[in-house]
Structure 1
């Protein structure tokens, strides 16, 4: 094995990146048109909601989302200013900060989901044949670290 992709693999790679970029931009545009914040806000709030106590460290949020650390800091500040999250000192480590989902943040998730779901259907699911979503999901899961396949 040469360790280099062949033409078919290179073309598939390029299509994956272009498709991802295109679909994400289309979904973001739909959310913006309906007056919602960017998808990154939803992703952070959803990760907080998935936690039993609704709180994560900024580094855990970074690891669970596609956002870089320098973006996480600014995004968390915006979410806190908007009242969707609160920051508090960790009870176990006074130097650490935990980010906690607020009631307003949980409400935003509920309000955004119908628009987000419709955008997923419009720009992604409606373009797949029966069974293709399962096939695609299975293929993509093999490209992700174990935790990210959720």
Structure 2
């Protein structure tokens, strides 16, 4: 095994970027959540679940896939889905091809709720993100941000997704 060279210290600019990224990773979800809670009485997690379901064919996702998409544990997703189900925004059904698993299905009421919340969320995203980017090349920014996570394993890449 070749000897690794000593890591090079970060430049001042690199350090500033690293600290800013760390802060935004902590703060941005909180800010978006605060706005949704204030304006819509809906959490960012609830919005995320409804959005993910709205973007899938037939508005259906397996619970484990939904949890991975929303970056939540399966137990956390189960609790959240139970809450959304009690509000009539989705329902759980057994997987047809696997009796052990469950699917979450977005209801018409859930889609309507998502559509009601969308303008508030969009305004929050614009205010907290895009209003600060000015003339930045958004395609290059998106590519750089995507590349930062390209070698991260998907949470559902292995058999650890059993329900």
Which category of TM-score, normalised to the shorter sequence, fits these structures? 0.7 to 0.9
Structure 1: give runs of 5+ residues left out of the alignment. Answer: none
Could you tell me which of 72, 76, 79 is aligned with 1:74? Answer: 79
- Aligned partner of 2:103 in structure 1 is 98
SS in 2 for 1:142: helix
Cα deviations across residues 24-63 of structure 1 (Å, max 9, x unaligned)?
2222111111133111111111111111111111111122
- Is the 1:58–1:98 contact (alpha carbons within 8 Å) kept by the matching residues of 2? yes
Please say which structure displays the higher CA radius of gyration: 2
**2:123 matches 1:118:** yes
Structure 2: give runs of 5+ residues left out of the alignment. Answer: 155-163
Name the CA distance, whole Å, in 2 between partners of 1:55 and 1:128. 35
Number of residue-to-residue matches in the alignment: 148
Larger CA deviation: 88-97 vs 9-18: 9-18
Name the CA distance, whole Å, in 1 between partners of 2:6 and 2:100. 45
- Aligned partner of 1:6 in structure 2 is 9
- Aligned partner of 1:25 in structure 2 is 30
Give me the TM-score of the superposition, normalised by structure 2.
0.80
Cα deviations across residues 48-87 of structure 1 (Å, max 9, x unaligned)?
1111111111111122122222311111111111111100
- Is the 1:36–1:112 contact (alpha carbons within 8 Å) kept by the matching residues of 2? no
**Where has structure 1 moved over 6 Å in runs of 4 or more?**
none
Could you tell me which of 54, 60, 65 is aligned with 1:55? Answer: 60
Are residues 15 and 59 of structure 1, via their aligned partners in 2, closer, same or farther at CA, if it must alter by over 3 Å?
same
